[in-house]
Structure 1
Amino acid sequence: MKTSYQYKIKPNKEQAEKIDNTLEMLRYQYNYQLAQRFDWYEMNRCSIDRCSLIVSHLPELKNQPNYYSQKASLVQLKKDRPWYKDIHSQVLQEIPKKVEITFDRWIKGDVNGKKSGKPRFKGKGQYKTFTYSQFNQAHFINNRITLSKIGSVKVIVHRQIPDGFKIKTVSVTKKADGYYVTLSLDDQTVPTIKPDFNANNIVGIDVGLIDFYVASDGSKVKAPKFLRKSERRLKSAQRKVSRRKKGSNRRKKAIVKLGKQHKKVADTRKDFHFKTANNLLKNYDVIAVEKLNIKGLAKSRLAKSVSDAAWSQFISILTVKAENAGLKVVAINPNGTSIECSNCGTRVKKTLSQRTHDCPNCKVSLCRDLNASINIKARGTHALKAQLMSS
């Protein structure tokens, strides 16, 4: 079983400067290696995709920068720029890996063939995380963690690491309110499914903007709308940033305050997602959810409300916590869950403003979200049986 714990750290002034300098140097190197990829791409690309065989000429292609060549160049980098020796080698080697992933997603796409936008160079303060890909368990004792090239840093341990879990990687992140470490943990002895798992204890949930979710048993949770409730404070903080002179200390302070306001909204939303996921997993062994195209919804006129609800984050948290507890989350095809009658299967088309499902065939009348969640449960039950039979 894999999980991660995040702790706030309290570096002294000298350690904080080392972290900031490390992030800036990594940002320079990231931009440099990304520029190498762009230069190769522009030098070897051709706007003409076909031509006559008689006049065709294939120019000699330059060597393409890849992960291994850019990783090997780091040896010379430390000779030319000795100050890069202040960064641990594992941390520095993460740069070509990030560049490789970012560039390939733009050119080739991900495993599903979906391409990302053109990578951007990172401006000052935009590079916020670095990772130690290997970590010695003995370097985290009580409330102190030893980070190579930085030193022993105080950690606010708000919860202990469970017995049996080993620290695989450590990431250091700079946020608006300070510095954090994220520990990636792993324990191979934890069973993937709990012994008393009950496949019949299943519920379907339909997420929405009015109710955060409506369950197939009739229970529901209102959408908290954290961003909407904080808009006045965020607007006030944003105005202060806009009124300050660019490059001034007052503007920097205003940006920090704005960042803290946004972080407070994000943290409150995340806490709500964790508590909601815990309540579901306490009562059910299987949760069926829709496999929504959230990116598509985020481009609609409901973009702000969809972002405020953050369904993708909630489903991700729910899935991870279910795996850690030996339970199941089943994602089903959402096509038709809102218009199919949960009682007879008749398709009843309705507009988004119609909040009641009225079936002309079997005369059933109920909330459209409840109708959808019952359909989700039925599809989830079918999908779960297929999974269990295949395994």
Structure 2
Amino acid sequence: MEENTTHKTHKYRLYPTKPQEAAMFETLRLTRQLYNAALEQRISAYKKQGKTVTGYDQQKELTALKKACPEFEAVYSHVLQEPLERLDKAYKRFFARVKQGVTAGFPRFKPAQRWNSFKFKEVWDKKKGRWLTPGRPTDDRKRINIPKIGSVKCKFHRPLEGTPKTLQIVHECGEWYAVYTCEVPKNPLPATGSSVGVDVGTTWFAITSDGEFVENPRHLKNGLKKLRVQQRTVARRKKGGNRRKKAVKLVAKTHQKICRQRLDFHHKTARRLVNEHDVIAHEDLKVSNMVKSNLARSISDVGWSQFFDILSLKAADAGRKVIAVDPRHTSQRCHQCGHTCRENRISQARFVCVACGHSENADINASRNILHRAGHALHGVNGSGVSHAVA
């Protein structure tokens, strides 16, 4: 990908007929079966012969597989290749983590509950500049063509941008979606001359160095009462029964709504920050370690990792800079005189420096320290000159 382009995804709701939906479920079943069989082949080859089977070796066997198992003829060739590529990536990530000396989970066999998508690797002809068969919308933009399945009704609530690259068909909570990955040119925004430090938390979602407090919407906490009732219903239902399956779907629907509310909030907050500031600094938090604390539910509810990822993507598209700084002692350091000690922060919200007497909201003080560190990270820019908000 060139430097002046970026990738965006567009997600559209699909409305398949019953025969089309049956074909989609069958595609999911066969691709999952292929993934598990390929994983079993790799494990057996290494245990019995000490041999490593590569993804390329397994893809070469697809022709013979179709002859031996005719049901795989009902699946598009690129869709069959994708599970093998997915497994190959899982192996490479596993060995990369082993080399780094971190805890690594070996690739696992996939149950039906953990396999909800299949993928078309190419939907656009670069040479001719036109759609290929997979994912091609009809002229009226009301349907898309999915090979081996048919022309499926699709709700294009917004136009596709850029050049489409791949198409993924996803099944979520009883609903089907078409997810296009597109290569789009970057859209740099005009400079604002402003920079900001952002301190995230659980009481307030974010506190900026210019004194803005962003409310924490607490989507999960607000939905807990409903979730508790639904989960108790699941516990009362007999395992394996249809009534239990329906109750489980209701729980999944509630979780899906909470996730969507959180995602919408993150997108809107990140967009506003990117529109208003040229440089955005935040702490480089290890969220996976933080969720092991007694604040695990509150930290999971705010979703810092997802927010930082969205912020970085939007900033890259707009030509902005996002800087993650060392989080150590940002809440204990006085941004006026630099004195650092635990006694400076006398409460959750109040900061009083024991050296110079500077008094301020503790979170605003931390956000200004974050911005100060970002200034040192930028060549030729000092901590006080990065932002109008820093005294």
Q: Pick the TM interval, shorter chain.
A: 0.7 to 0.9
Is residue 2:24 matched to residue 1:30? no
Counterpart of 1:160 in structure 2 is: 159
Listed as ranges, the matches of 1:284-299 within 5 Å are 284-299=277-292
Q: Matched residues in 2 for 1:62 and 1:360: separation?
A: 65
Tell me the number of residue pairs that the alignment of Structure 1 and Structure 2 aligns: 364
1:62 is displaced (CA, Å) by 2.7
**Counterpart for residue 244 of structure 1:** 237
1:66 maps to 2:54: yes
Aligned to 1:383: 377
Deviation, structure 1 residue 22: 0.7
Which segment is superposed worse, 314-323 or 31-40?
Answer: 31-40
Counterpart of 1:16 (choices 21, 42, 57) is 21
Could you tell me how far 1:368 is from its partner in structure 2? 1.7
Asked if 2 retains the 8 angstrom alpha-carbon contact of 1:128 and 1:175, the reply is yes
Q: Secondary structure at the match of 1:140?
A: coil
- What is the one-letter code of the residue matched to 2:206? Y
Matches of 1:112 and 1:280, distance apart in 2? 35
Structure 2 residue 177 is the aligned partner of structure 1 residue 184: no
1:365 aligns with 2:365: no
Name the CA shift for 1:105/1:305 in 2 (closer, same or farther; >3 Å).
Answer: same
Q: CA deviation at 1:295?
A: 0.6
Shift of 1:114: 4.2
Per the alignment, residue 172 of structure 1 pairs with 169
SS of 1:300 mapped into structure 2: coil
Kindly tell me: are residues 112 and 170 of structure 1, through their superposed partners in 2, closer, same or farther at Cα, counting changes over 3 Å? farther
Query: Secondary structure of 1:206's match?
Result: strand
TM superposition score normalised by structure 2: 0.87
Q: Is 1:146 aligned to residue 145 of structure 2?
A: yes
Equivalences for residues 98-247 of structure 1 within 5 A: 98-109=86-97, 114-136=102-124, 137-138=130-131, 139-141=136-138, 142-162=141-161, 165-187=162-184, 189-190=185-186, 193-194=188-189, 196-198=190-192, 200-247=193-240
Structure 2 unaligned spans of 5+:
1-5, 125-129, 382-391
Identical counterparts, % of pairs: 36
CA 317–112 in structure 1, closer or farther in 2 if over 3 Å, else same:
farther
Cα distance in 2, alignment partners of residues 181 and 258 from structure 1: 23
1:108 counterpart SS class: helix
Distance 1:332 1:378 in 2: 10
Q: Residue 64 of structure 1 aligns to a residue in which SS? A: coil
TM-score, structure 1 normalization: 0.87
Q: Which amino acid aligns with 1:86?
A: A
In the alignment, the residues of structure 2 paired with residue 212 and residue 38 of structure 1 have an alpha-carbon distance, to the nearest angstrom, of 46
Partner of 1:7: 12
Q: CA separation of 1:360/1:6 partners in 2, compared to 1, >3 Å: closer, same or farther?
A: same
CA deviations 1:153-186 (Å, max 9, x no partner) are 1111111123xx0100111100014011111111
Partner Cα distance (1:153, 1:245) in 2: 36
CA distance in 2, matches of 1:343, 1:37: 60
Is 2:186–2:318's contact at 8 Å kept on the other side of the alignment?
no
Q: Deviations over 1:101-132 (max 9, x none)?
A: 22233333189664432332222232011111
Where do residues 67-82 of structure 1 align in structure 2 (5 Å cutoff)? 67-82=55-70
Letter in 1 for 2:76: H
SS at match of 1:235: helix
Query: In the alignment, is the contact (CA less than 8 A) between 1:202 and 1:381 conserved in 2?
Result: no
Q: CA RMSD in A?
A: 2.1
Q: 1:259 Cα shift?
A: 0.9
Q: How big is each residue's C-alpha offset from its partner over 1:278-320, in whole Å with a ceiling of 9 and x where there is no partner?
A: 2212221221111110110112221111111110001111111
* Cα offsets for 1:251-298 (capped at 9, x unmatched): 221111111011011111111111111221222122111111011011
Deviation, 1:249, is: 1.4
Q: Residues of 2 paired with 1:35 and 1:248: CA distance?
A: 31
**Could you list the runs of 5+ residues in structure 1 that have no partner in the other structure?**
44-60
* Alpha carbons of structure 1 residues 118 and 353: separation in structure 2 relative to 1, 3 Å: farther
**Native 8 Å contact 1:346 1:361 kept in 2:** yes
Name whichever of 263-272 and 61-70 sits farther off.
61-70
